[in-house]
Amino acid sequence: MEDMLSARAAAITGAQNWDSVRRRFPARVDQMAQGLLIGDPLADAVIADVMSDSALTWTAVLAALETPTHPVTESQALRQFLAHVTATPEWFDPAIARAGAAAWWRFGSLQVGTLYQSLIYGYQAQGFVRPLIETGRLSEGTWDRAVATGRWVTLATAPGMMDPGAPGWVETIRIRLVHAMVRHHLLAGEWDSEQWGAPINQTYAQLTITAGFLVLPLTIAKDLGIRYSGAELEAITHLWRYIGWAMGVEPERLPVDFADAAEIRSISREFRLQPVEASRVLVKALLDDGYRTSVGLPGPLDAVLHQLTKPFLRPLFSAISARWVDPEVVRGMGLRSTPLHHVVGLARPIVRSREVIRTLGILGTERSIAEREFRLVTRGLGIDDGDYADFGNRYRHVDEGRMDSVA
């Protein structure tokens, strides 16, 4: 049975060496194989209600997210779903999560900037891109997709914003339900579950959260010269573990600490994946339309600046992105590894100098630094002021003493 499941997993993922990786990490790889066949039953039940003849509408679902502990609904599926996502797991400690958010936002603008590498990480695997192929959204809406991803990362990682009903929590749960809606439409169409597994399944969700949005950004940060203490790494991991739980990743698939998260990413890198043509299309669209050059000039002038800088920025982004992609898949993804990637090395002295200045208190308090970083990002993403008006108050609740306890 396990051999049959492994053969099916290899076909679904396109991994040419699934069995050899499984021999080295049997328990975790078998768990990944099983996860390829599993969606998100709680969220799927809500969307099944929405798509049926029941009185539940998408508008009503979104309204319920604003007051999740007292939803006004006749839908048993929605009540069960909200009861689950508002009852935080036993292992969750909000003080540690806030400490992780505080550490993350010390370099928040840079961390959000790594989302391009997070997206490219996902584009490597045919299973990640298959839902986009089937929905016909390969090269359309790239900028909107990048902004939406940036908005989610920004709100979900800000101190206290993952409290039930808070902006980051609402955005995370909304995306979870959107994934369920996409899954519903794909399964109702021509999606071949036998050949492709479950759309937006547990394993891809696990790897997206753990490898793509947690370990990879911290790896890039280290390459740039940013240093986090052991306690800070554990606090950041705790925060992303909770974000992953809220997003619907099953608890046993989430990392219990940073070493566990690093192992999950390490295993994922062991698989030899051959990017499909759709991967190249997605990367090309990201390099062509996944960013905007803006310095706050009036609209037309910023647009002109973007066009003038694009011929330089595109090859720069391609080279830098190739720095964190395994060499054997760089060409398959349509990236180019050139000497431009050494720009990262040139940035290290600047980053380290900033850290020295920060520790001297010249940049202000930790709270004021994080708040400036947050406002810089939210302005760039066009997030309404109301979404972060209480950032300072939420940050004030960070219990610095708890940071030491997780080291």
Task: Pick the more confident residue, 379 or 391.
Answer: 379
Upper half-sphere CA count for residue 239 (Cβ side, 13 Å): 34
CA distance 336 to 202: 31
The arithmetic mean of pLDDT across residues 355-379, rounded, is 84
**Residue 34's pLDDT is what?**
96
Task: Choose between 396 and 141: higher pLDDT.
Answer: 141
Tokens 């990879």, residue located:
216
Average pLDDT, integer, range 228-249: 97
Per the model's pLDDT, the better-predicted residue between 142 and 163 turns out to be 163
- If one compares 355 and 396, the residue with the highest pLDDT of the two is 355
Whether pLDDT at 184 is above 80: yes
For the cut 70, the answer to whether the pLDDT of residue 100 exceeds it is yes
Whether the Cβ atoms of residue 253 and residue 202 lie closer than 8 Å to each other: yes
CB contact at 8 A, 111 and 217: yes
> pLDDT of 329-357, one tens digit each?
788 888 888 888 888 888 889 888 988 89
For the cut 50, the answer to whether the pLDDT of residue 274 exceeds it is yes
